[in-house]
Structure 1
């Protein structure tokens, strides 16, 4: 009976091969089955033979007394006695002898000897001849029958093993003979054939073997013991040489044998199947296990085994062995031992093993198998194939309390290549495909029984050499791979950040790998937990100076390649990889990469802005398909670039989120090209050239047809500085000191428009400061754009040709009236420009401006000089026509060298006309008195109030009209400004005047007006001084030389001169009436007529006209240096009479009033008339 440990080991060690799970006792018997069977059969048959010969000799001796009778009937008597004695010894058997012959005193010969079973008459033994030799000397001298030798020739023996394991000879009764021989004979058996029948029970047919023995001899060792040897020919196996001993007294025995150079082929397997039929089922189970392990296509094309020993029943899957065996066995028994002591050793030599499970054939196989009652040992001393060698073994003790057995193995330079792949289980094939290894592996270790009862490997050490590999998730060529694997001791370990926890049941292999990745050396360390379908692995790999080149891109899968190619990342990197496979079935291996990039370039295809001298920190997680771009630093030109972002590949198709920050980035074509079409449109509106600090946020869905969304976020706005711009809507050269803006194409406030927010704007133009806040630019999906400026301010703008050229063409004529004098400023203004990106529609504008003028000059028909003040402008430009209204709040200005202050009132402007004050003044719809004064332009002049209205036709050749009224002006204020050396001029001035003209030439100015001074202290006016001096020459008594009662002037304007139709100077002492001209340049051509103070007679007009004491004073020269000539006049001609007759001064009477016009007829067609194409009228007429 084989021990409990043996059975347990067999069950566990071959758990995956049910064909090997059989009864341990039966397995043990199969090892030395044949020899043991022969030993039991022979032990029963030889005593029968010995007793039979002994009885023959005894009978012969007993008959010696009747020699004569014996001599005549010796053969019959001996035969009869033999049969009688045999029946006494073996009562259940029958002996048949063909013929008996006595050979004198030397012995006897029996021929045709046969032993049969009495009950069935079945033959059990048949011999051609049996010869017995006796010691004749002892017989003659001492009358002792001593058998020297028994010689059996050409015998056939039937041995049958029953189902219960007993032999057929064991079931018969054998009685000891009454007479015993004093010595043991030698027994020689020649040409013995043993018909061996092995019954198995059930439906299993009995196995029948014919065993032939050329010679078997038993030599007495003592009076009660034999030594024997011989040779037995086993069919299909060869010659079994036997040797042993048998002690008849102690019943101890031993048997040894050997078979040399046994051919291990299919015949040997058939012999084994015949002796152990259960082996057939076990081999069938083995076939099934192999079929499950091998892929289907592998089982379809296996070669025929030929003569090789097939370790299985299926020639397409079973391993095939061909070689030589040397078999040695020893068996010993004793009555006190229920189980014989046995030893079996099989030496395998010159073997060849081929199996679909191994990609190479193993040759020169040398192995040793040893089995005894207490132990089992197998040693594979050598096996080679394809430069690989395999050694190993297994040993265990089989007693009940034996310690666990162990196995060991040592494999050197076993090839790992594509031949191995089809032989692996599907899950292992996926692992093989994942890394595509090629090289040679050497591995050694032991297999021991774990305390849990499982057989586990221990002390495993492996080396993978001359290897290449290409990981399927990163197909980068790796060569010269060397891997060193060492198994850790089994132990309980807590989990760490890089390792999961382990128990005493977990197998951990530490792995160190080195090699060449591309052209660079690398190292890798990691661990492998519980190798098998549910294994967990983790490896770390580091490569220095790794090139981000085409080989790197070709190594990536489609998703990762799409990211890298879109980034156009090149350069070098120090890379660390972590490969982790979580525990469980069908788990993928995840890749975690961490790279420090340097000497690199990047150009994102969706934002093609070159970043050079790039350094970056990149990470990648294949489990989540997540890229992180950290600490990207580089430059573009002189600008510095920083960036950070990520690409999330799950859910598909993946989203890129990248934020780029640029410092001192040039506003050049490179930056322009990375912008979206709407952003380029905004760029084209501004035409910048300079620098900026910007943060761009790029969002891109990595699917077909998706364009990136580029945002300049509010929390990190763009800062533009040291930049020249020339905006398309307003082509005015400016240098931006600083502008802060943001761009968010998805701004919900913009209702789907592309929206650029300009937070602040600071610029200069030739020293002028221009600022704005809270501005924006919008582009609609249909291509319409809008640029809006809020809080627009500008200081010290000069109204020069550059400013004029920046305006729309129709504005330029209007702005042409603002001369290149002074400076213009804007405060808290708004401007809005709109247009179309296609350029098919004209740009439009809208504004609300607060304009400050300082020392400017404007032509509003007349030159308005030294303008200081503010003007508001609210208007639109629709691309064709200008509309503008506003208020004028001028502090000071000069017209015709006359100062005006506090000028305020409305105005309107369009592309063809300018209206200052009320338009109604120049229309006949209302009387002047009925026009709302708040709609007219008002000012202060020389202490009085001035109402001013003007209408200017801005078209080429257009006319202008000017109407003004002055009340309560102070003459002394006028004198203080214009003739400060004449301090005695005084008076209150009331006047009105209308002017018309074309262009800017003085000769084109026409008009008329009136002027009243009351009282009028005019005596210090040079002209008046000359007049009074001339009157003294006429001995006219001028008593009051300080004042006139009043002065009134009627005049017209034409030919660059004032044409005075009447100049009345009325005083108590003297009154004058004059007429003439005073040119714009100061030339004087006046004629005054004077006479003494009014008398009573003069009150009668007729009489007054007859007086001849009128004096004529001619005033020539200039206003500053007048020249007078006195001409006495006796009588007046008709013309002078008509001129002087109405002059009846009455100094004490009421002061005459002015003939202010009731209305003013418009001479310029209105807009409706112009739209209808009506011609303009030439001249306007003042009606009274």
Structure 2
């Protein structure tokens, strides 16, 4: 609760002529009492003393009607006078005696009560000196020439209403009606004058011992000697009083008091006045409350006072007193302290003049610590509202926190203390302070000539050292003139001019620096919160040059118009939400109209040269928008760049981890847009890698995708990343001799999943080497390994990869694979492949699967060339299907996947067909099943134990219209042959293991010319060597494949002249063992007629045995008249057993086991 404001206590006595009037009344009263004691009374013997006693009481009662008078005794002292002892005068108790007891319960209450109840006058002895013999008393009026007052006390008490008790005591006593013509000389000695205040703190009165005093009536001309006073023979009272007190070495009062309306004059002098805390005991409590807390003082003073009064009579005859007075003193050896001062003020000296309503303290000197002080104080209008004018000068004044704390709470210096709070000065300064309370508002002016000081401005709490310059403070106005300061070795200049700097400032303040200082925590913390947040965005370090900081105020101290220019030198910046540190940074920050702009920033990150610019713009509702754009060249794709992406862009980080890039980009542009109200920034990144001839980067770019660990080197092209979307444009790369060109689009879902679509893919000279096979999915890799593909391929098309959160990678593709001279194994080995394959497939949780369409211009199967090969192919994690089986499998998978993955792009349906190709002048049709077996076969060879794949296959092939002569020549058969060959075969087994192969087939020759072949030559030689006998119009062979042999169950060489029938076998190494029987003409007889045919032709039969090799057959012929069981088997009408592809939807006759 605020303390009630107290009314200042007026210490000036009411009625400046009080002392004159009281001394005058006192002298007249004494003379009157002396006269009244004897006038008009018969003095008879022993009754003289009683009469004098009674008359004394009556006279006092008449002079002081309100007084209570007590007298111990009145005695005539022979013929020389009268002696009165024990005279006591009291005032009756009134409200003024009780009022203090109703105020605060303080020690002054009891003291005031006792002061007012004690006698005002106590006289031990009153002597009236004059003739007092009986004759004089009976016959004449006695005249007393002298009155002596010895011993006793006079109490002067200031009541709570401000009036003195003596005024109340003598208020009914009129001088004009009682003044005698002659006043006896009054002598006083050994009397104690006690001074007290009804509200004083102490319980004791201030004691002044009147050791010697005299009041004597004299003519005026003997008193005044100047020409201004009339020299008429009028009476005056000459006064001389000598006091002793423990607070002073001497107190004298002398002068003259006029008994008429002429001026009166009194002079008082105090020598050796001791000033210490004892004086506080006699001051009113209200006065003490206005003194500073913890005040202490001591010193010595010489004091003199002159009082001049005059009484004037108005028209009604009433007297009016006027007075003027002056007091002067000299102070020395002073000491002063209170809680506001850091150290006491010592060596205080000066002069004090008090005249009327004005007090002057001049030539004041002192010392505060080691600072000499000079000053003056002038106080006017003491009786009403005091006006104070003061000056203070200090040299080398020590300024610190203690001094600032002392000024706090001091009303007249509160503005000065607020300045201390604003600048927190520490050090020494020269001070010139003037204060003037006159006028409507007090005026405080301070001039600080700062020599060596530390200052911290509250708006910019960055410590400045060795501050010098001038600071002008006028009330709440502040002006800074050429203030210089140093910090970190740099000079700062501070200027400013603020009106009403405390509450509603108008004006400006500006700080500039000559050079850069470290951008450390101390400097950043000195900035205001908004600026600090701006700086913290880039987390800068290094050196900064504060070129200018200017605040313009228009009455709102919280929202100045701010302009800041900062230059960063040799710094490091790292955006908090993209912590990619940039070193050796040079650049500028500018603040205009609340907008921060980052301009001309450049720096390095390793070998990377990076430029930065941007802005920070405040928005409504306390929001703000940050825009940053970084442009870098030769940017390393290192771990720090990855870490920068990971802070607020986890999706980009995941892509980074998936691609695992290395190297350096030629050009990188990154745009960041961040709203304060939004947690996640908007990120736009654009990177470029130029071709090596145009690139100035120190290293090449390489990626090695985690989901496809196939390193692609020498990457060039461009990429764009924007808010979870990634776009790759014209990306080119190499892997050994393989070259890649593609575009790609990737998207990152909020749930953490991602997808990647590769478009316009072009891969040249792709080799199915160890690196590629290791990178492919295991199921696909296993299938491709079984193909044993050799050579380089060209791929064009597109791919898509999808990685759902918590799921496995999914992919699909639609590509065209071209080959030029490739070789692969698909059961048999194919070489010299020229053409393309259209692949369309996918890989997901169900495994790998793909359909294909072959469009082969040419390829070699052994020594045979296949041309214009086309047809469907199906491959999945378990099998490779070619021809009609591929179409069947494709139909089944499409039906199963249609509801699960609608994004897969599929070929238009075509009618199921076999793989068709042109070879040897005929048409070849192929259907194939290749089953991938997830195991290896261990075999013991001649040299070592080997392992190989145990994949199994089923091959169906048909050939029609092939040129037999061409085939012979392809197998290096020199002999002439001709005709057309048709056939069909089915083969099953394990890839690469001929011992497991088995199958069957049929071959038919039409218009065959084979008589020059070694085998036929050998046969015909047994038939007579006639060419016409060897002209076979048709030839048929039914065979089986088993145990690495072609087992020929039926051989029929039919001609018009003779026919050969037989059986036998031929190994894969062309070893042969065959038996033939000759028959004249053709035999097309059904089996029931066999016996008849045999019987008719038995005489013409010849048995021929063939052995050796196909190139060098050995033939033996024997006439054989009887048919045996072998002939019966040969001539048996064989039903064909050639396996043929079945219509769509039916199971093949021979299943893989």
Q: Same fold (TM over 0.5)?
A: yes
Shift of residue 949 of structure 1? Answer: 0.8
Deviations 1:122-176 (A, max 9, x none): 99998647699xxxxxxxxxxxxxx9x9877667998999779588398335479
Matching of residue 444 in structure 1 with residue 444 in structure 2: no
Shift of residue 362 of structure 1? Answer: 1.9
1:493 is matched with which residue? none
Q: SS state of the match for residue 820, structure 2?
A: strand
Matching of residue 485 in structure 1 with residue 471 in structure 2: yes
Shift of residue 283 of structure 1? Answer: 1.5
2:823 is matched with which residue? 857
Deviations 1:996-1048 (A, max 9, x none): 565458999776655557678x79999999999999x989799xx9xx99655
In the superposition, relative to structure 1, how do residues 730 and 948 fare at CA in structure 2: closer, same or farther (>3 Å)?
A: same
Shift of residue 917 of structure 1? Answer: 1.4
CA contact (8 A) 2:1015 2:1113 kept: no
In the superposition, relative to structure 1, how do residues 709 and 1117 fare at CA in structure 2: closer, same or farther (>3 Å)?
A: farther
Deviations 1:18-53 (A, max 9, x none): 54624xxx54437x96xx433223445668999999
Moved more, 933-942 or 871-880: 871-880
1:38 is matched with which residue? 19
Matching of residue 768 in structure 1 with residue 746 in structure 2: no
Aligned mates of 1:1047, 1:165 — CA distance in 2: 174
2:326 is matched with which residue? 343
CA contact (8 A) 1:1005 1:1053 kept: no
2:170 is matched with which residue? 168
1:823 is matched with which residue? 792
1:927 is matched with which residue? none
Shift of residue 529 of structure 1? Answer: 5.4
CA contact (8 A) 1:1107 1:1131 kept: no
Trace 1:194-593 onto structure 2 (pairs within 5 A): 212=210, 214=212, 216=214, 219-221=222-224, 222-224=231-233, 230-233=240-243, 235=245, 238=248, 239-242=250-253, 244=255, 251-265=262-276, 268=279, 280-286=284-290, 290=292, 317=293, 319-334=295-310, 339-373=322-356, 375-379=358-362, 381-395=364-378, 406-420=389-403, 423=406, 425=408, 437-449=425-437, 453-458=440-445, 460-464=446-450, 466-468=452-454, 479-482=465-468, 484-487=470-473, 507-510=477-480, 513-517=483-487, 521-526=491-496, 530=500, 541=511, 544-548=515-519, 570-575=541-546
2:693 is matched with which residue? none
User: Runs of 5+ in structure 1 lacking a partner?
Assistant: 1-14, 56-83, 102-108, 133-146, 274-278, 291-316, 491-505, 703-707, 748-754, 924-931, 1144-1151, 1171-1175, 1178-1184
Aligned mates of 1:511, 1:1021 — CA distance in 2: 127
Q: SS state of the match for residue 18, structure 2?
A: helix
Aligned mates of 1:408, 1:823 — CA distance in 2: 103
Aligned mates of 2:926, 2:178 — CA distance in 1: 171
In the superposition, relative to structure 1, how do residues 286 and 880 fare at CA in structure 2: closer, same or farther (>3 Å)?
A: same
User: Runs of 5+ in structure 2 lacking a partner?
Assistant: 37-54, 92-119, 132-142, 157-162, 225-230, 313-319, 691-699, 890-909, 934-948, 1084-1091
**Which of 852, 871, 876 matches 1:905?**
871
CA contact (8 A) 1:725 1:733 kept: yes
2:1138 is matched with which residue? 1157
1:7 is matched with which residue? none
Trace 1:183-198 onto structure 2 (pairs within 5 A): 191=188
Aligned mates of 2:658, 2:573 — CA distance in 1: 29
Aligned mates of 1:332, 1:922 — CA distance in 2: 141
In the superposition, relative to structure 1, how do residues 776 and 201 fare at CA in structure 2: closer, same or farther (>3 Å)?
A: closer
Aligned mates of 2:1011, 2:511 — CA distance in 1: 110
Shift of residue 855 of structure 1? Answer: 3.0
**Which of 948, 952, 955 matches 1:962?**
955
**Which of 976, 979, 992 matches 2:984?**
992
Q: SS state of the match for residue 715, structure 1?
A: strand
**Which of 862, 883, 888 matches 2:854?**
888
Trace 1:772-787 onto structure 2 (pairs within 5 A): 772-776=742-746
Shift of residue 586 of structure 1? Answer: 13
Deviations 1:382-415 (A, max 9, x none): 1223123443334366599999874333244444
Aligned mates of 1:1021, 1:799 — CA distance in 2: 46
Q: SS state of the match for residue 39, structure 1?
A: helix
In the superposition, relative to structure 1, how do residues 174 and 421 fare at CA in structure 2: closer, same or farther (>3 Å)?
A: closer
Matching of residue 737 in structure 1 with residue 746 in structure 2: no
Deviations 1:1122-1156 (A, max 9, x none): x999x99998988999999999xxxxxxxx99968
Aligned mates of 1:523, 1:403 — CA distance in 2: 42
Aligned mates of 2:1116, 2:633 — CA distance in 1: 93
Deviations 1:332-377 (A, max 9, x none): 3455695223323233222222223323222222233333347543
In the superposition, relative to structure 1, how do residues 20 and 717 fare at CA in structure 2: closer, same or farther (>3 Å)?
A: same
* TM-score computed with the length of structure 1 as normaliser: 0.62
Deviations 1:584-614 (A, max 9, x none): 9999999998754432346789977554323
CA contact (8 A) 1:871 1:890 kept: yes
Trace 1:41-80 onto structure 2 (pairs within 5 A): 41-43=22-24
In the superposition, relative to structure 1, how do residues 207 and 985 fare at CA in structure 2: closer, same or farther (>3 Å)?
A: same
In the superposition, relative to structure 1, how do residues 942 and 151 fare at CA in structure 2: closer, same or farther (>3 Å)?
A: same
Aligned mates of 1:958, 1:616 — CA distance in 2: 69
Trace 1:561-960 onto structure 2 (pairs within 5 A): 570-575=541-546, 596-601=567-572, 610-615=581-586, 633-641=602-610, 663-671=633-641, 676=646, 683=656, 685-692=658-665, 715-717=684-686, 722-735=700-713, 737-738=715-716, 761-776=731-746, 789=758, 792-808=761-777, 811-812=780-781, 814-816=783-785, 818=787, 821-830=790-799, 832=801, 847-875=813-841, 883-911=849-877, 913-919=879-885, 934-941=912-919, 945-955=923-933, 956-960=949-953
Aligned mates of 2:195, 2:775 — CA distance in 1: 122
- Size of the aligned set, in residue pairs, is 978
Deviations 1:112-131 (A, max 9, x none): 6999999x9x9999864769
In the superposition, relative to structure 1, how do residues 971 and 230 fare at CA in structure 2: closer, same or farther (>3 Å)?
A: same
Aligned mates of 1:50, 1:920 — CA distance in 2: 158
In the superposition, relative to structure 1, how do residues 680 and 793 fare at CA in structure 2: closer, same or farther (>3 Å)?
A: same
Shift of residue 674 of structure 1? Answer: 5.9
Aligned mates of 2:766, 2:1065 — CA distance in 1: 42
Shift of residue 461 of structure 1? Answer: 0.5
Shift of residue 553 of structure 1? Answer: 8.6
Trace 1:1116-1155 onto structure 2 (pairs within 5 A): none
CA contact (8 A) 1:40 1:167 kept: no
Aligned mates of 2:385, 2:803 — CA distance in 1: 100
Q: SS state of the match for residue 284, structure 2?
A: helix
Trace 1:954-1103 onto structure 2 (pairs within 5 A): 954-955=932-933, 956-967=949-960, 990-995=982-987, 999-1000=991-992, 1009-1010=1001-1002, 1048-1050=1035-1037
Q: SS state of the match for residue 444, structure 1?
A: strand
Moved more, 850-859 or 371-380: 371-380
Shift of residue 679 of structure 1? Answer: 6.9
Q: SS state of the match for residue 290, structure 2?
A: helix
Moved more, 560-569 or 222-231: 560-569
1:141 is matched with which residue? none
CA contact (8 A) 1:163 1:200 kept: no
CA contact (8 A) 2:874 2:887 kept: no
